[in-house]
Amino acid sequence: MTRVYLDNAATTPLDKEVMKAMVEVMEQSYGNPSSIHAHGREVRTIVEKARKNVANLLHTAPANIFFTSGGTEADNTAIRSAIQDLGITHAITSKIEHHAVGHTLEMLEKTGKIKLSYVNIDSKGNIDFTHLEELLSKADKSLVSLMHANNEIATITDIERVGELCEQYGAIFHCDTVQTMGHYAFDVSKLKVHFMVCSAHKLHGPKGVGFLYVHPSIKINPMIYGGSQERNMRGGTENVYGIAGLSKALSIAHEHMQDHREHIQSLKTYMMEQLKAVIPNIHFNGETAPDKSLYTVLSVCFPEMDMADMLLFNLDINGISASGGSACSSGTDIGSHVLTAIGADANRPSVRFSFSKLNTKEEIDYVVEKVKEVYKL
């Protein structure tokens, strides 16, 4: 059976060069990085070289990079630390954020730690900047938590503009960059952002490792108490193999960023054209223009069909891996909170196809042909 993997926003295949770098560490460097003997110092060097590499790619100092178990931990740490350690009692977010952000803020509101405000968004997931400024003006100091690009509908937020507003009103800016780290270049020495996050498995690195960038002006308490790891900020022996893999994956992503972007964008554009040509009444969720949309993600809203919930199943039995969902049609439905927030039609199935450097035009042709078969066209 032909197998096509188009769920790269969920996770990406491990790059062979990344695996090679990790295996080398596994085989040769097994000491505890906290030990002071030669075996420990060797492994400590691997961790710190990785930290320096990540920092250089983001144009910051190594002291501002903290390795974590992934994006969810990094998001939680940024938000909780801002509330607990920086004295913030008001947070601003949107209703299309990842649950790592949304659920954390909801919990903090329910327990009385913060007042939570939601900035208005339009039908494509764009932020209403006039409303954002209005919300910022009503509080002495706020936490703004807005993602760079949405993981379901691909809409990109102008984080430079968000950062400028946050600076103007003395707010703390946390940006979930899980979907864009390694796909876009960031210079945090110029961006007015206080927290940014990464999850290695979104950029052909290993699962279970990521990092949190913390602006040098921000002083927070330890994320996890225990040992003195991560400069006393996160107790627990470091995931050395994962950290080495993360560093290698980010290096590869930056080295080939333009080529990968052009290739993947061409696949996304081609798929849009082919689907529009063969499926009547089709449209796409979120922004699709290259300058406003994450090039690795395409959210397709298909026409109504009998047994719409079987669309993904039919793709799967044809060897096609993708993600799907629909808007919630009632308060009790379990559907996509993102599609619901932008007012998507609950009767129409949506499928998120997400691409990587490994996908091909021939795979897109195969997927489009199978979609035609499902709709009996």
pTM of the model: 0.95
328 given a catalytic annotation: yes
Closest alpha carbon to 183 in 265, 245, 243: 265
Q: DSSP code of 174?
A: E
Q: Which of 166, 175, 198, 328 is catalytic?
A: 328
What SS3 class is residue 121? strand
Q: Do residues 74 and 211 touch, judged by C-beta distance below 8 A?
A: yes
| Cα separation, 135 vs 61, whole angstroms | 32
Q: Which domains does the chain have, with CATH numbers?
A: 4-12+257-374 (3.90.1150.10), 16-255 (3.40.640.10)
Strand order in the sheet with 195-199: 65-68, 210-214, 195-199, 172-175, 142-145, 90-93, 115-118
Residue type (1 letter), 145: S
Residue whose tokens read 């691997």:
46
Q: Quick one: CA dihedral 104, 299, 202, 182, positive or negative? A: negative
Token pair of 20, please? 């090679």
Q: Which helix (H) or strand (E) holds 351?
A: strand 350-354
pLDDT tens string, the chain, 377 residues long: the values are 799 999 999 999 999 999 999 999 999 999 999 999 999 999 999 999 999 999 999 999 999 999 999 999 999 999 999 999 999 999 999 999 999 999 999 999 999 999 999 999 999 999 999 999 999 999 989 999 999 999 999 999 999 999 999 999 999 999 999 999 999 999 999 999 999 999 999 999 999 999 999 999 999 999 899 999 999 899 999 999 999 999 999 999 999 999 999 999 999 999 999 999 999 999 999 999 999 999 999 999 998 876 656 888 899 999 999 998 665 544 445 689 999 999 998 888 899 999 999 999 999 999 999 999 988 75
